[in-house]
């Protein structure tokens, strides 16, 4: 009987220590991820300010740190005041590189491109959203 109590007590201690270690590890990973997301947001804001806002172009953006790709992306939406010209551009923020774009100029057909996917065409905003989904999720 004493042996059973000892075994159960030992299991409880081992389980408790394991749980504490996992929680500590989990919290560290969450903190690191939050730090990467914060840095991504700051770099995205700087990129948009430099490339668009400083030039007087109306723009907004969404940034996303993609954990699968270990990269920061910004999806910048631009419009020209007084017209229906509209565009979105996808940037790899850390490399300061435009990797894709969708444009819908006033009175013209929609157009999009993705670096490395020149053969892929998109004919609508829906197609564009499908192309950028792997980067922004």
Predicted TM-score of the model (pTM)? 0.72
| Distances from the Cα of 70 to the Cα of 74, 79, 92, 120, 135, angstroms | 14, 30, 11, 24, 10
- Return the CATH number at 64: 3.10.450
- 66 belongs to a structural domain: yes
pLDDT digit string (tens) for 104-124?
776 677 778 888 765 566 778
> Which of 100, 96, 93 is closest to 118 using CA atoms?
100
Between 26 and 42, name the one with better pLDDT: 42
| Number of compact structural domains in the chain | 1
- 12 belongs to a structural domain: no
- 28 belongs to a structural domain: no
Distance CA 109, CA 106 (A): 8
Q: Which domain holds residue 61?
A: 40-136
- pLDDT exceeds cutoff 70 at 127: yes
Mean per-residue pLDDT for 46-58? 77
């Amino acid at each position: 009987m004493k042996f059973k109590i000892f075994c159960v007590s030992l299991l409880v201690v081992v389980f408790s220590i394991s749980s504490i270690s996992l929680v500590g590890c989990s919290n560290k990973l969450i903190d690191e991820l939050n730090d990467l997301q914060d840095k991504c947001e700051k770099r995205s804001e700087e990129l948009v300010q430099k490339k668009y806002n400083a030039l007087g172009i109306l723009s907004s953006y969404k940034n996303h740190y993609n954990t699968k790709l270990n990269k920061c992306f910004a999806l910048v939406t631009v419009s020209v005041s007084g017209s229906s010209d509209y565009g979105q551009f996808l940037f790899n923020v850390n490399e300061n590189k435009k990797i894709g774009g969708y444009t819908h100029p006033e009175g013209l057909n929609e157009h999009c491109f993705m670096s490395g996917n020149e053969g892929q065409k998109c004919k609508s905003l829906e197609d564009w959203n499908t192309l950028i989904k792997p980067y922004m999720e």
